Structure 1
Amino acid sequence: MKTTAAILNHANTELEVTDVDVDDLRPHEVLVRMVGVGICHTDLGVIAAPAPGQTPIVLGHEGSGVVERIGAGVTLLSVGDPVVLSYAHCGECDHCTADLPQHCRAFVPLNLVGARTDGSTPLHRDGTPVLGAWFGQSSWAQHAVVAENNAIRVDDDIPLDILGPLGCGIQTGAGAVLNTLDPEPGSTIAIFAMGSVGLSALLAAIVAGCDTIIAVDVSDARLDTASDLGATHAINSATTDPVARIQEITGGLGVNYSVDCIGFSDVVRAALECLQTPGVCATVGFQGMPNDVTVDQGHLLFGRTLVGVVEGDAIPGAFVPRMIELHREGRFPFDRLITTFDFADINTALDAVHRGDVTKAVLTFPTP
């Protein structure tokens, strides 16, 4: 069959929206008709600097849609199921079988290359391969070929088109708080960088019952959004020393927990140094590799912990439904982060993301 996809042909160029051929499904793969898909920082990184041999590629890894076809052996899903797509994992290694799929031994080849692990791709254009397995989905397209364990069936009482970011960006921020840090009610937390991941962490801190929630950013506009969503304090780190101000807010103690959502060296240091002892900082920001960060080992020696977090330490099959249930209860209004664009306007949406005009851009598809 044919479908329409947005193809990156070369670094830092507009995506080409064009028809591609979709191969027959392999066992345990499903074909998903996309309804919505988010734009994530990781996608932007590839647009800016694809690896050698990584183009042409269809990006996109925050998809939501409806199962249209299933391959032989599929048992977890049926045609017509509404699904949210998350990161790919093998389901067979020691980490996957120990409920640590975010640390799947094959995480990099399954998610960050763009091809299947055997080097093949389900997409072709005029007979030429187009990488179509980015994060196991390549969902900047009207259809995506997905492994069945990469798709989470969801209820249909919440609009499906806005659910895609629950599979990555929103999951990352919220999971860093609810899964990794798991703060006690009444605890204090500082969150650095108020993009979609940081704001998702903020919403999760409210769910957890944190008493003091401090938002840190260099943009007054983003800090205003954080305050509107429930931050108790806002610090513009372009004009104010965030560590000193956090110490002041907490009566000289520092916060119990912090989250770094950008990965800059000075931000990671500040997120660690603003902690009381003991205290835990979760770092989820990513600036590519290598990304050297220098910290004072004394901060660790005296009881502070710095922990890296992948995909919010989430098991998507459990955590995506949990976030949806929290939204249903009115406790996790992630929809307030989202601005939608027609899929045909993907390059306009990308420009808006680059300018910082939107918090989380989601592309929507016409109903067939």
Structure 2
Amino acid sequence: MQTTAAVAREAKGDFTIETVDIEPPRSGEVLVRIVGVGLCHTDIVFRDQFVPYPLPAVLGHEGAGIVEDVGDGVTGLAPGDRVVLGFSSCGHCARCDEGLPSYCREFPPLNYAGMRLEDGSKALYDEGGAISSHFFGQSSFAARAVVRARNVVKVADPDAPLEILGPLGCGFQTGAGGVMRSMACPAGSSIAIVGGGPVGLAAVMGAKIQGCSTIVLIEPVAARRDLALELGATHVIDPAATGVAAALRVIHADGVDFAFDTSGRVDAIQAVLEALAPRGMLGLVGVPPSAEDALPVNIAAMITFGQRLIGIMEGDSDPQTFIPELIAAHRDGRFPFDRLVRTFPLAEINEAVAAQKRGECVKVVLIP
């Protein structure tokens, strides 16, 4: 079978739209016709080799679509099922058994190797040979994807907007899950969120669902600050106009209970750390500009005030339960993520990357 795909062939180069050969699903896999796939910063990070990934490759890890075929041994899924695609996990290590598959022992190879781990094979080919597949277990920058069955979350709600559900598989569940699961912010607590991109604005919506009494977004783009206020933020701060730590102390003299950084910028993280309350918690999800970036921490101060600093992967989400929870919240009007989405044809992926980088849209979803 052949399919159309956006192929990454060189670091920092444009994606190329190509017709490639795709294998049928093997044991434990399903074939999914992609109806929409989110464009995530992580896709660009891997394309540009901030994290090494074998090129040429088909990336994409926020897919949604319809099952067309299932491989041997697959149960609970059938052709015609509407599905969202999440990340890969083994399903049998200690963290998976805890319901924390984003910390799976095998997470890096399952999601980043670009091949089937069982035999090193790939699902995609062109006349030059194999193309790296199975990015986050899916490689969904394509009209069809061969996906590990464990990645697949069935969508029970027939009215859910399947075309734009893909980002629930990564960006939106990371932001919402960081607040709702990783930090489990209680009702009445205060939180500062750094960055008004898709992850940060999902965190704003998650904080509102949790009942946080003070929700502060720190974001330089005025339109995103305005959108945050509409989505549930109680305060916004322009970091270009004022000192962030001082502004947060004006809002909460004793500091904020929680902070959530989506920027990966050391200066931004330090600013919210300075405004953290005793026993406060800072969650980190933003990828730094350089792999060498490090955060200097005043150890004595953290001990004195009992402050906590945690890394967060995929919002501590178990996709099989959390994605349906977010879909239900969207249906009820409590998680209006559709307001963040702008769609582009897959063929215009390079224009979409540029538009998202310029801040012209919050979240791109590509339509094959």
TM-score (norm 1): 0.96
SS in 1 for 2:67: strand
The match for 1:211 is: 213
Please say which of residues 312-321 and 51-60 is displaced more in the overlay.
Answer: 51-60
Counterpart in 2 of 1:150? 151
Kept after mapping to 2: 8 A contact 1:256/1:278: yes
**Contact 2:95–2:104 (CA under 8 A) maintained in structure 1:** yes
Q: Which moved more, 1:141-150 or 1:293-302?
A: 293-302
Residue in structure 1 matching 2:348, options 345, 349, 353: 345
Alignment of 1:237-256 (within 5 A): 237-250=239-252, 252-256=253-257
For 1:320 and 1:51, the matched residues in 2 are separated by 27
Does the CA contact (< 8 Å) of 2:88 and 2:151 recur in 1? yes
Match of 1:187 in 2: 189
In the alignment, what sits opposite 2:282? 281
Q: Which residue of 1 aligns with 2:129?
A: 128
2:238 match: 236
Deviation at 1:96, TM superposition (A): 1.5
For 1:187 and 1:104, locate their aligned partners in 2 and report how far apart those are by CA, in whole Å.
30
Q: Quick one: distance in 2 between partners of 1:92 and 1:232?
A: 42
Residue range with higher mean Cα deviation, 115-124 or 127-136: 115-124
Mapping of 1:1-368 within 5 angstroms? 1-49=1-49, 54-117=54-117, 118-126=119-127, 128-155=129-156, 156-250=158-252, 252-287=253-288, 289-301=291-303, 302-365=305-368
2:53/2:112 contact within 8 Å kept: no
> Runs of 4+ in structure 1 displaced over 3 angstroms?
50-53
Answer whether contact 2:190 2:256 (CA < 8 A) is retained.
yes
1:240-286 superposed Cα distances (whole Å, 9 cap, x missing partner):
11111111111x11111110111111122222221111111111111
Return the offset for 1:232: 1.0
- Deviations for 1:164-221, whole angstroms, at most 9, x for unmatched residues? 0000000000000000111221111110111110000000000011111111022223
Q: Distance in 2 between matches of 1:289 and 1:185?
A: 36
Distance (whole Å) between structure 1 residues aligned to residue 182 and residue 200 of structure 2: 15
For the residues of structure 1 that align with 2:229 and 2:52, how far apart are their CA atoms? 42
Q: Which moved more, 1:226-235 or 1:55-64?
A: 226-235
Q: SS of the residue aligned with 2:228?
A: helix
C-alpha distance in structure 1 between counterparts of 2:63 and 2:262, whole Å: 22
SS in 2 for 1:277: strand
Q: What's the secondary structure of 2:192's corresponding residue?
A: strand
Of 220-229 and 70-79, more deviation after overlay is shown by 220-229
1:157 positional shift? 1.1
After the TM superposition, which of the residue ranges 342-351 and 173-182 deviates more from structure 2? 342-351
Deviation at 1:53, TM superposition (A): 6.4
Contact 2:179–2:185 at 8 Å: present in 1 too?
A: yes
Identity %: 45
Q: CA deviation at 1:51?
A: 5.8
Contact 2:53-2:114 at 8 Å conserved across structures: no
Distance in 1 (alpha carbons) for counterparts of 2:177 and 2:239: 25
Q: CA deviation at 1:331?
A: 0.6
Deviations 1:313-346 (A, max 9, x none): 0000000000001111111101111001112211
Deviations 1:46-76 (A, max 9, x none): 2323666611000100000000000011002
Which segment drifts farther, 190-199 or 280-289?
A: 280-289
Match of 2:55, SS state, is coil
> Whole-Å Cα distance in 1 between the matches of residues 297 and 251 of structure 2?
23
The 8 Å contact of residues 215 and 235 in structure 1, kept in 2 or not, is answered as: yes
The alignment of Structure 1 onto Structure 2 pairs a total of residues equal to 364
Deviates more, 1:128-137 or 1:8-17: 8-17
Task: Please give the alpha-carbon distance, in whole angstroms, between the structure 2 residues aligned to 1:254 and 1:98.
Answer: 33
Moved more, 265-274 or 156-165: 265-274
RMSD: 1.4
Q: 1:52 to 1:169 in 2, by over 3 A?
A: closer
- Following TM superposition, by how much is the alpha carbon of 1:12 offset from its aligned partner in structure 2, in angstroms? 1.7
